[in-house]
Structure 1
Amino acid sequence: MHYSTLERIQACDLNLLLSLAVLIEEQNVSRSAARLGFSQTTMSKHLKKLRIFFEDELFFKQGYKIRANDKALSLLPNLHQWLQMSHCLIQQSPFDVSDVHGVIRIAFRDDQTELFMPLILETMANEAPYIQLEFMNKSRHVFSMLEAGELDLATAASEYPPMNIYGDAIPNVNHYAVYAQNHPLAVINKPTLKQIFSHTTAEYNSSDSLESAIHQLANQHDYTRHVSFSSDSMMVMLHGLLAGQHVGFVPKRIFYDPFWRQHLLRVHIPEAKSVPTYLFWHTRVHNDRLIQWFKNRILSLINEHLDPN
């Protein structure tokens, strides 16, 4: 290593780089200090030294928070690489998920949980028996929960997450209008969109993606959508449809369950193009080998078992 390079490294307290990485990830001085076990005063001093060292402000204030500027964000990939290399150097042992102990907290919509939970639990029992999973129903505030460290992974439909949130796309699936066999639409062979929207509908309000697509579709055709029943639980909505009073809108995976294939009728709605769903995680776990292994394993299971057609 060149002498000038060594001199540059000696001039910087490497703990400051750790503070910088966490500050960029958290976008919050108090949370960064708590995460590293520092006082807020110490973290503020670190930030002051970092600004001097890099000859840049690195962050700007936004309300009560701080936001990383372009300079700071450009440093983050190299900081992550440095942290990962440091971890491997200190660990000096290969990552073996079968021997790892820990807890992973994930939030799916209830219909996703019902479909994928058995697959995930079976996989974990075989490959990572010492990992504890905490399943949570998807909240409308998953990004703030990820930022606060209350969740490790969550699904959501958003193409514009906060800058400190990463995401991998989950394949889109076909969507259907569904209704009970005693619903008035049941006597019509392949009801049209106009006929479907002429009836009262149910809304699954945990799916901001699908429901937004349905509302947009109604507006495009100048139809009025009447919603008189809504639930943030897919199972509650589906059982409500059995009363024969409403039309609901669901992804195809619902019909992987033979019960719903038997009790609900469906009409494919190819025009309903929803925003892609993503599996999101916070930048603080971007190099966490357990979380990344689990994330990749989930995506693999979904791709293996999700029929998009």
Structure 2
Amino acid sequence: MNNINLNLLRSLKVLLDECHVSQAANKLNITQSAVSRQLSQLRELFADPLLVRDGNQLIPTPKALQLQAKLEHWFVELDELMVEAEFEPAQWKGEFVLASSDYVAQFILPEIVEAMAVQSPQVSVKYCLWQPDLLSQMAESDIQLASTMSPEPPVGVSSVLIGADYPVVAMHNQHPLAAQAELSVEDLLNFAHIKVIGGGDKDTYIDQALAKLGHQRRIALKVPFFSAAFRSLCLSQHLMVVPEHIASNLQHHYDVVYKRLPVTTPLHKYWLLWHAKYDNQASHQWARNLVHAIMTETSYSIGYDYKS
């Protein structure tokens, strides 16, 4: 019984519905001889004649009638299993886990939560601070969607590009370097730096560029939050290397200016990413499309600058 063929059960259902070999063959689109062979297999399988001849008719046995009722119910459930119900955001219940930087949490997450609350009010959103080592844990972790930076599409996960920009150096608007149109490498090294360690890797490019010249920055403060970093920047003569879209947006909230770096660095590329197990999940497709749309439209996101 463990090796029973699904097609054999479907043939049995049609045979019991029709009680006629040729009519069953037509309905199954196979030959009469094939149906007769299947009936022989079924009789052996269930140890019962199933259909007995009475003149020109085939009469189902009591065993066959029991099977017919069960098969009818079973195939209805099977058909329902094979046809997924259309996803309705308003009916979606559960938790959606999103991970990114504290910058996204402060300036973009509220728009995501607002949209979720309107379109899918029964879903709760959980937000985690992204760290690069979480990438290798996407299959096992509860993180369903993340945004981060990476020079190339992240390996081992599905992703879509949100945007790209270059790193710049930010400082208080009263900083000794604030009035200069351009900075030198010496300028960059003469002041200590603040490093934001939450979210994606924002510093490797500048550190690699300086290392090629035989230099290294002095890091005065490492902090996981952009808000704390920018407040500290405004109360010191420190410098901070950040993505340009963040510096551009946060200069409207803090007394800071930013300058181009005096060294050449690659582009920062920003990705929305998820594990491939969610590729075809209807609720995830809807949620990631919603998040992607917001990250494309909101003025605080790299997607807005990239699109523009």
Q: Give the match for residue 229 of structure 2.
A: 237
What's the TM-score once normalised by structure 1's chain length? 0.64
**Displacement of 1:213 after TM fit?**
1.2
1:293 to 286, 297, 302: 286
Q: Secondary structure at the match of 2:165?
A: coil
Deviations 1:11-53 (A, max 9, x none): 9xxxxxxxxxxxxxxxxxxxxxxxxxxxxxxxxxxxxxxxxxx
- Which residue type is aligned with residue 286 of structure 1? D
* Unmatched 5+ stretches in structure 1: 1-6, 12-85
Distance 1:259 1:304, change over 3 A: closer
Q: Give the match for residue 40 of structure 2.
A: none
2:275 to 262, 282, 291: 282
1:307 to 287, 292, 305: 305
- Which residue type is aligned with residue 297 of structure 1? L
Distance 1:92 1:169, change over 3 A: closer
Please show how residues 156-195 of structure 1 align to structure 2 within 5 Å.
156-158=148-150, 159=152, 161=154, 163=156, 165-195=157-187
1:109 to 101, 106, 110: 101
Query: Residue 107 of structure 1 contacts residue 155 of structure 1 at CA under 8 Å; is this kept in 2?
Result: yes
**Displacement of 1:167 after TM fit?**
1.6
Q: Give the match for residue 27 of structure 1.
A: none
Partner Cα distance (1:279, 1:208) in 2: 12
**Displacement of 1:91 after TM fit?**
5.0
Q: Secondary structure at the match of 1:168?
A: strand
What's the TM-score once normalised by structure 2's chain length? 0.64
Please show how residues 97-246 of structure 1 align to structure 2 within 5 Å.
97-158=89-150, 159=152, 161=154, 163=156, 165-246=157-238
Partner Cα distance (1:264, 1:298) in 2: 29
- Which residue type is aligned with residue 133 of structure 1? V
Q: Give the match for residue 241 of structure 2.
A: 249
What is the count of residue pairs matched by the alignment?
Answer: 227
Partner Cα distance (2:80, 2:143) in 1: 25
Distance 1:145 1:235, change over 3 A: farther
Distance 1:95 1:284, change over 3 A: same
**Displacement of 1:200 after TM fit?**
1.4
Query: Residue 234 of structure 2 contacts residue 255 of structure 2 at CA under 8 Å; is this kept in 1?
Result: yes
Query: Residue 142 of structure 1 contacts residue 154 of structure 1 at CA under 8 Å; is this kept in 2?
Result: no
Partner Cα distance (1:291, 1:88) in 2: 21
What's the C-alpha RMSD, in Å, of the aligned pairs?
2.9
Query: Residue 202 of structure 1 contacts residue 228 of structure 1 at CA under 8 Å; is this kept in 2?
Result: yes
- Which residue type is aligned with residue 118 of structure 1? P
- Which residue type is aligned with residue 181 of structure 1? N
Q: Give the match for residue 271 of structure 1.
A: 264
Q: Secondary structure at the match of 2:305?
A: coil
**Displacement of 1:266 after TM fit?**
0.8
* Aligned-pair identity (%): 18
**Displacement of 1:135 after TM fit?**
0.9
Query: Residue 95 of structure 2 contacts residue 125 of structure 2 at CA under 8 Å; is this kept in 1?
Result: yes
Query: Residue 138 of structure 1 contacts residue 154 of structure 1 at CA under 8 Å; is this kept in 2?
Result: yes
Partner Cα distance (1:173, 1:275) in 2: 5
- Which one has the largest radius of gyration? 2
Which structure shows the higher helix fraction?
A: 1
